[in-house]
A and B are shown apart, each in its own frame.
Chain A
Amino acid sequence: DGGITQSPKYLFRKEGQNVTLSCEQNLNHDAMYWYRQDPGQGLRLIYYSQIVNDFQKGDIAEGYSVSREKKESFPLTVTSAQKNPTAFYLCASREPAISGNTIYFGEGSWLTVV
């Protein structure tokens, strides 16, 4: 099955802890993205990566970190510096332009601070 897999689906974090959300894709896409979605809101871009070993900050990168050591993997760490991390997190990858530029999303991860 080709696609994007996010894990875990639900995650609870104690205040002051770092947590890492996994995102794996077997679509052979170079570009990958992390978005945050708050209830009833749109998607806000946290980080994006256009190629292995490279990534750029999005609009709300503070309190988050990423790595892109492998093409198929783009994990997101929510650090203790993120003051309001409770949200729905979505990972995506994008086809190259020559194939149509379509973005594919994972099913998301719900993070709750307890």
Chain B
Amino acid sequence: SQQGEEDPQALSIQEGENATMNCSYKTSINNLQWYRQNSGRGLVHLILIRSNEREKHSGRLRVTLDTSKKSSSLLITASRAADTASYFCATSGRAGGTSYGKLTFGQGTILTVHP
């Protein structure tokens, strides 16, 4: 079963607008990562947030983590047409747990940015 669930499944916006994607998970995690995938390609790492962090920034990306709600959000500011891709969250289980070492991905959010 999938640990992470992204929401929305698809998002369509205009260039310059902000895009927000959400990820929910079910069990305790060590960290949560966000990835981007262009169609038919491998995934590219965007950002990692540890379970003891609440917010992290990288360029136009902002990630938040709420461990009490078991959820994370990825915000892309001032979007560009080149941001069009699928975005996935991935969770890693805690050391000592049954899912330690296992990386589980959500279903992804398909983002389309119109020029």
Chain A interfacial positions (CB closer than 8 Å to B):
4, 31, 33, 35, 40-45, 48, 50, 56, 58-59, 88, 90, 92, 94, 97, 100-108, 110
Contact = CB atoms under 8 A, between A and B. Distances in A.
Q: Main SS of the interface on chain B?
A: strand
Interface of B: 1-2, 6, 30-31, 33, 35, 40-45, 48, 88, 90, 92, 101-108, 110
B106 A106 contact: no
B111 to A, nearest CB: 14
Q: Main SS of the interface on chain A?
A: strand
A45 B104 contact: yes
A101 B102 contact: no
A36 B104 CA distance: 12
A43 B88 contact: yes
